[in-house]
Structure 1
Amino acid sequence: MAPNDSVHLRGPLLLRRDKGGDRTTTDQRLLDTNQDTDWLHTDPWRVLRIQSEFVNGFGALAELPDAVSVFGSARTRPGDPAYEQAVELGRALAEAGYAVVTGGGPGQMEAANKGAWEADGESVGLGIELPMEQGINRWVDLGLHFRYFFVRKTMFVKYTQAFVCTPGGFGTLDEFFEAITLVQTDKITRFPIVLLGVDFWTPLVDWIRGTLAEQGMVSASDLDLFLVTDSVSETVEYIREAHHRVALTAEQREDLVGEEHRGVER
């Protein structure tokens, strides 16, 4: 049987075989005084909250200078060697002209923010809503708090130009593997990655080399996508050199385009 011409329009939706659904209009539902708040937890409303988080993040970070994300455990405390090294790292990055961006929490995140703060650099914290609320540490100049992990991850990738992973747990591993996947698949450029702490990271790197690469799950050349070091100064220099190479490549491309353009004009 052919479709009939009886249709019901609900906003952008055309419902041809309407089977007695809700016939109220969108305006009616908007202006209704019904106090039911279940709508706050529906997927369409979540989409708007997600959109607002992107807008707020883009607006707050758009004018951020060149920046480096620092990841690491939230469980270390002042006096721990990893904590003190993260303070040194934050200070060195700030002195090199980079803003320091962390997850805004305690431990090595706090330490890197503290180092940047003490060096009078820009210290940024991108917090996340967790069951055990952490808040933003006191060494942050600019703090943002997110509901959604994937929005926060986008901010780290979009507004920083390097990742440094200090010793940490699942969250740190997540950031490392996500970053290296994006670099490996050419989704992002200008993105040096450093694993700071040779003793801590070597077992993981050995597994990548001895299992993933040997079994062909990754290419041997993929191990060149990151640096493993104990040195803060080598970390900063590695990042600066990587960005310098990219800047030179971009400049060379511009020169080449200019020469081709001049050749066409002649």
Structure 2
Amino acid sequence: MPSDDVDHDPSTEAGGIPIREIQSLEEFDQAALSGSLAGCRIQALDLTERTFALLVVDSSQAVFLGCPMEPQALAHIRAGGALVFPPVPDLPFDPYRGAPYTPDELYAGLETEGYAGTPDARTYAWYRRTGHNGDVLASMLRSVHDDALSDALDEMLRGSRVVGVMGGHAMERGSRAYAGAARLGRDLARSGLTVATGGGPGAMEAANFGAYAAPYDDVMLGKALEVLARVPSFGPSVDDWAAAAMAVRDRWPDGGPSYGLPTWFYGHEPANPFAAHIAKYFANATREDGLLSRCNAGVVFLPGAAGTVQEVFDAATTNYYGSRGEPAPMVLVDRAHWTTELPVWPLLTRLAGERPMADRIALVESVTEVPAALARLAWG
């Protein structure tokens, strides 16, 4: 029984053994050299060439998630007390992955096989086959995948000031609104904030593209917008839409980082290639809550339809009840849209009343006003 004057965090221990996550072969080799993998969580590593290490190391209470290994190594670590979740054959995705996707991962094969042959499209096809057929294995694999992504996001975003940019997928490249959203993403990234979006096309892509363009000058921004404008939308050809984005990335390869959280629930909308880190979920509810909950520096709502309205009130609900502590800033852009076309603002202000969230909401006319509004709301 632990002493009263010693901190005891059961979340970091398994049966008294400290838990450690291992997500690279370098980390594995270091742990193996110590002689013990006890309590370790080894995630999505190919261990077929680490047989000797596995045969001599202590594996008690270790967990192996999707790690290929030789049969004799597998038998030994199981006998030593390890729990093993083996790789699942014939899946277009890795349910145990330890990091968000990159654009190159999701769009691998675009040039040779077209979008239909990419991991992004093949995973969506798998989801359409299995998402509603009651297969408990498929359901479990989706849940494990989404939880692994959430864990990876928490690790990567720890200590970051994250601002979300929400908006509709229908915003077309080449439009003034798209260029404005891109400049907003660039301004936010240049101010030291980490930009996160829903990861799809339209306003989401524009904000991710803006963050990508942050290290470059106005000339790059203008020329890249011209390239993108040649393919305004992902319909009718995702191939052409994605190829235009990849052409921008190839011409200006050293873009700034940002995050995108799309979903295969809306898999007909492809993930945009400008987010450096793409956490693509199967469960849209997990994705929505996960995105908003990580926006600790506030959320910007560009004009959108039902999905954006849902996000406004998802954020408002947590601010209203204070379920995540102090309310996070909420900035709605375009007065006519949010007061006349979709009169969300009057309801939001009525809901806020005299609660603390009333001092954390703002309605502005233009994206140029957003950075100042965020700063004002953040500091009262």
Q: TM-score of the superposition, structure 2-length normalised? A: 0.48
Cα deviations by residue, 1:126-150 (Å, 9 ceiling, x for unpaired)? 1111355222112111112111012
Q: Is the 8 A contact 1:190 1:242 kept in 2?
A: no
- The correspondence for 2:323, drawn from 175, 187, 195, is 187
The residue aligned with 1:155 is 290
Matched residues in 2 for 1:229 and 1:127: separation?
Answer: 26
SS in 2 for 1:53: helix
The residue aligned with 1:109 is 204
- Indicate yes or no: 2:153 matched with 1:57: no
Q: Is the 8 A contact 2:162 2:195 kept in 1?
A: yes
Q: 1:231: how far off? A: 3.5
- Indicate yes or no: 2:356 matched with 1:220: no
Percentage identity across paired residues of the two chains? 28
1:97-136 superposed matches below 5 A = 97-120=192-215, 121-130=256-265, 133-136=268-271
What code does the residue aligned with 2:212 have? W
- Indicate yes or no: 2:234 matched with 1:234: no
- The correspondence for 2:169, drawn from 67, 74, 85, is 74
CA 206–183 in structure 1, closer or farther in 2 if over 3 Å, else same: closer
What code does the residue aligned with 1:220 have? G
SS in 2 for 1:62: helix
Query: Comparing both chains, which one has the higher relative contact order based on Cα–Cα distances under 8 Å and sequence gaps of 6 or more?
Result: 1
Gaps of 5+ in 2: 1-129, 216-255
Matched residues in 1 for 2:264 and 2:315: separation?
Answer: 22
Matched residues in 1 for 2:280 and 2:171: separation?
Answer: 22
Count of residue pairs the alignment pairs up: 202
SS in 2 for 1:146: coil
Q: CA RMSD in A?
A: 2.7
SS in 1 for 2:260: strand
The residue aligned with 1:178 is 314
Worse overlay, 191-200 or 157-166? 157-166
CA 133–226 in structure 1, closer or farther in 2 if over 3 Å, else same: same
Q: Is the 8 A contact 1:50 1:151 kept in 2?
A: no
Q: TM-score of the superposition, structure 1-length normalised? A: 0.67
Q: Is the 8 A contact 1:58 1:155 kept in 2?
A: no
Q: Is the 8 A contact 1:195 1:229 kept in 2?
A: yes
Q: 1:56: how far off? A: 1.8
Matched residues in 1 for 2:162 and 2:199: separation?
Answer: 15
Q: Is the 8 A contact 1:77 1:83 kept in 2?
A: yes
Q: 1:47: how far off? A: 4.9
Q: 1:201: how far off? A: 1.1
Matched residues in 1 for 2:367 and 2:266: separation?
Answer: 33
SS in 2 for 1:74: coil
SS in 2 for 1:68: strand
SS in 2 for 1:110: helix
Matched residues in 2 for 1:62 and 1:135: separation?
Answer: 25
Matched residues in 2 for 1:107 and 1:207: separation?
Answer: 26
Q: Is the 8 A contact 1:72 1:166 kept in 2?
A: yes
Q: Is the 8 A contact 2:186 2:210 kept in 1?
A: yes
Gaps of 5+ in 1: 1-36, 246-266
The residue aligned with 1:26 is none
